Amino acid sequence: MRSPISRSLVVSAAVLAALWLVVVGVRAALSQVQSGIAQLAGLLPAVVPTQLTWPENGAWAVLAPLVGAVALALGYLAVATRAGARGVVVPWFAAALAAAAVGLVIDVGSTWAFLADYGVRGLLGTGFGAAAASGAFFGLAVGWVPGLIARRESATEPRRRPAWLVPAAAIGVVAVLASTMAADAARTASIAAEAEAQREVQAQSSFGALPDPDAPGEPVPETAGVALEVEPDECTPDTATVLKGEPDAATGHRGLPLELFNFSDQPCVVEGYPDVAFGDQNAHLLAVTVVEGGSFMAQDQGPQRIEIPPGGTAVSVIGWDAASPHGALVTHTVWAAQTAGMPRGSWPLELDIVEGSSVAVTAWSLVDPRSAG
């Protein structure tokens, strides 16, 4: 029947675990100090990556190091009881080996997400191996302390390893892996929650929902995509251009005038309604119903064939009802062409035309629709 582990060896294992926790705790505490003192944390071996001991990780910031300390003690005992030699060297070596092994398991746990997503190449640039190297350094630096304690064993009584010790050490390794992964998951969740909170704060002060690069949608087409027959005297981009006026507002209503400016030295003709479209904060076509006709902000005289003299302008007014932009897809760009089928020009402009809105647009007129009687 195998004899139990000697008291001095058990004490040496407890001392080793305690020293390991002291290093982890002091390093974590120093890293949280908001001053130059935080640089002192770099003088201690990172046996547990600092990000795993962040207070934001909750209970796992404490549980993961505790589990690691227990596994370290069990691993140390498993190695030290296997060797039959006396003195300081064997337990010293056992301390370094056990600490390096625990560090390696922590490395695997803290980089598991990269391994799962990218395989072995996911370890590049992640600092994999740092905890194992720090553990080995820790064991070499302080392993002599438990070694001095362990050498007090009776020289006549051989060391024997209990049958339960190796399985216990193996369970400790699994527990270290699980707790490290849990701490890393808690850290990731904490970062995500903080990012979401920041997004909420930004959303409160932003016009509409925050831009989303992954949002589904299509770019605003540069033309309406309809067939167009151009008459010789018609206003085209070669003779006239659409200009944006200044937005106007009344209680609960909005208006935006458009002007078709004839910059040529000959009159040009336009008939009907301008072609308008709207782009949202994601540079996608905003789902808006465009209705040809008047609104609260302007009367529609109907489509008329009008001649714009050189240097003259025709006017159309876009009208809509005010809407809350909070959290919505809203207008960040206005697109317009003199008639459907011609190339659209655009202007960056924030308007409370939201997704699903109905917008009215008056026909081109030489008389401002806002003042027409």
Report yes or no: 159 and 112 within 8 Å, Cβ to Cβ: no
pLDDT beyond 60 at 154: no
pLDDT confidence of residue 1: 40
Tell me if 220 is assigned to some domain. Answer: no
pLDDT beyond 70 at 159: no
**Is the whole-model pTM more than 0.85?**
no
Which whole number is the average pLDDT over 255-270?
A: 96
Q: Count how many domains the chain has.
A: 2
Q: Are residues 115 and 198 in the same domain?
A: yes
Tell me if 91 is assigned to some domain. Answer: yes
Residue 105 one-letter amino acid: V
Which of 2-11, 216-225, 309-318 is the least confident region?
Answer: 2-11
Q: Are residues 332 and 187 in the same domain?
A: no
pLDDT confidence of residue 370: 77
pLDDT beyond 70 at 372: no
pLDDT confidence of residue 2: 45
pLDDT confidence of residue 84: 55
Which residue, of 186, 205, 224, is where some domain finishes? 205
CA distances 185 to 52, 64, 181, 315, 316, Å, are 9, 12, 6, 60, 57
How many percent of the chain have pLDDT more than 70?
Answer: 90
pLDDT: which is higher, 22 or 43: 22
Name every residue whose Cβ is closer than 8 Å to that of residue 179 and which is 6 or more positions away in sequence: 60, 63, 64, 67, 68, 109
Confidence band, pLDDT 50/70/90 cuts, at residue 251? confident
pLDDT beyond 70 at 280: yes
- Considering only CA atoms, which of 228, 225, 199 is closest in space to residue 212? 199
Which whole number is the average pLDDT over 312-322?
A: 96
Q: Are residues 51 and 191 in the same domain?
A: yes
Q: Are residues 39 and 129 in the same domain?
A: yes
pLDDT beyond 60 at 3: no
Helices and strands in the chain: count of H runs, count of E runs: 7, 11
Domain extent at residue 266: 240-361
Which residue, of 205, 228, 255, is where some domain finishes? 205
Q: Are residues 253 and 357 in the same domain?
A: yes
pLDDT beyond 50 at 322: yes
pLDDT confidence of residue 28: 87
pLDDT confidence of residue 121: 67
How many percent of the chain have pLDDT more than 90?
Answer: 54
Q: Are residues 277 and 182 in the same domain?
A: no
Query: What mean pLDDT value characterizes the chain?
Result: 87
Q: Are residues 100 and 177 in the same domain?
A: yes
Q: Are residues 138 and 91 in the same domain?
A: yes
Which whole number is the average pLDDT over 320-342?
A: 93
Q: Are residues 176 and 278 in the same domain?
A: no
Confidence band, pLDDT 50/70/90 cuts, at residue 156? very low
Q: Are residues 271 and 155 in the same domain?
A: no
Which whole number is the average pLDDT over 341-370?
A: 93
Cross-strand pairs, 351: 331
Which of 141-150, 182-191, 210-219, 351-360 is the least confident region?
Answer: 182-191
Q: What is the pLDDT of residues 164-219, one digit of tens each?
A: 888 898 999 999 999 988 888 888 888 888 877 777 776 666 788 888 889 999 99
Report yes or no: 53 and 65 within 8 Å, Cβ to Cβ: yes
pLDDT confidence of residue 279: 97
Tell me if 96 is assigned to some domain. Answer: yes
Q: Are residues 124 and 26 in the same domain?
A: yes
Tell me if 366 is assigned to some domain. Answer: no
CATH code assigned at 262: 2.60.40
Report yes or no: 176 and 109 within 8 Å, Cβ to Cβ: yes
Which residue, of 187, 205, 223, is where some domain finishes? 205
Q: Are residues 92 and 183 in the same domain?
A: yes
Which whole number is the average pLDDT over 274-300?
A: 95
Tell me if 367 is assigned to some domain. Answer: no
* Count of all residues that appear for the chain in the document: 373
